Structure 1
């Protein structure tokens, strides 16, 4: 039974990391349809609060984890505190560890040309036995999309990781997941860039004090406009909790 908290119209699972991993494993083994996992952060929730279609897509997911300290803080404001954040990158890292020696198949879809291949090469250094049955960058025209769909459906993919950035990846899966024979599809944002070594993740101590967003901003100043959504998000949560 899922236990959910609703934040600005979007349902978030009240799972710890180990519970989220178990949920993904269960979805692979039991779902009759291709399952969807999303990892919304405060920026995504702020945008979804003003876009009914995006909120609908997020709420259609079989698992939605709290990706970011802002979401955890919002849950406390709402009076239903989440036990911990379950960031998308951390979730897939735990899934790699859980399934690397199994017979489950991964497919990586997203990022710029060349990035996903570097990500796979680095990942195989840590997990030589991991079954990655295919990969493709995220720039798909009609012909390449048809080719990718055929590869996925012929490869018995258990875990499809889609990293096209929000909201493109969510819209892509909303439109196409029914055509794909996969166990679980997970939106992973910029995770392939991190795995490829193109972007450095914040040190663990920075993550623990909730300043990973600042670390990312210092690396990528172009994210400044996106960061401005964080105070807007907290304002909307406070308004929903106390002023609605």
Structure 2
């Protein structure tokens, strides 16, 4: 029996947190469908996302917009005030555990916070990504040292004049992980949306690239660290 046959009709993975509120079945029907879930993200999609801020009380991308564009998720964790949903390329399925477990090849996990009876995007994690159409996107393909060393870094705080994440990802599209979040300085009353992208390095280490989001949604390189 194939993976799709096993999953069809099965109850999806739900891990309710404390004070989960609505029933698991209601949340499953609204946000989760393993038969529908897939990894359909591309490079440009990341610039379209917006994230919650505390100081300005700005809302991130609504969960409804995410579902409309990418379909329902593979699995999720829920509470009254927060939600974590995951989309991915499904590889296998384990029905022997207390909760069904889905194993994915590449995945994106989105964390949402509830604000005024609606859920808005708080942060994003991507794992083992291979963007289609990139020049170098083989699984676990390392970024060349000379390419890393020549990356144009912009202002350390704003990323201004740095290379765009799009140019980097279109050249090297195989990443270990991507993390996007809002960094807020309450003393200075400022906030920045930061993208941290990690690549494999040729020596077995890693390269960590930090990009800062601009007003137009683009992310520009502010720092590059070899580990």
TM-score normalised to structure 1 length? 0.29
Structure of higher CA gyration radius: 2
Structure ranking higher in helix proportion: 1
**Structure with greater contact order relative to length (CA < 8 Å, sep ≥ 6):** 1
TM-score normalised to structure 2 length? 0.30
Structure ranking higher in strand proportion: 2
